[in-house]
Amino acid sequence: MEIKYTKHFLNKLEDLFSETEYQLRYEKGSFNSGYCILHNNKVAVVNKYYTTEGKINCLLDILRNIRVDAKTLGDKNQKLYLGLFQTAIEL
């Protein structure tokens, strides 16, 4: 799937994120990677001063690093998630 660095795509990722167990917050901070994941509290914090492209890259990194059960996502978000992260193996 092609990643588009637009506000609309960022909104799609935020919507997908809202269906996970994690709460997404944008706050100021000096994170080395641009974000911080608090696994025990199921909170992901992204630097609010990042550009749209930076926020999208952070959300993609976070979604790669947390456990997401695609079966619990809505149809649109499940399709987006699988399109982003599922690699098809063809024989």
Q: What is the mean pLDDT of residues 63-82?
A: 91
Q: pTM for the complete prediction?
A: 0.85
Question: Is residue 65 packed enough to be buried (19+ CB in 10 Å), middle (13-18) or exposed (0-12)?
Answer: exposed
Percent of the chain with pLDDT strictly greater than 70: 93
Q: Phi/psi of residue 24, each to 5°?
A: -100, 130
pLDDT over threshold 70, residue 87: no
Residue-range domain boundaries for the chain:
7-85
Tens of pLDDT, residues 24-57:
999 987 767 778 888 889 999 999 999 999 999 9
Q: Please state, as a whole number, how many other Cβ atoms lie within 10 Å of the Cβ of residue 18.
A: 11
Query: Is the CB of residue 59 less than 8 Å from the CB of residue 10?
Result: yes
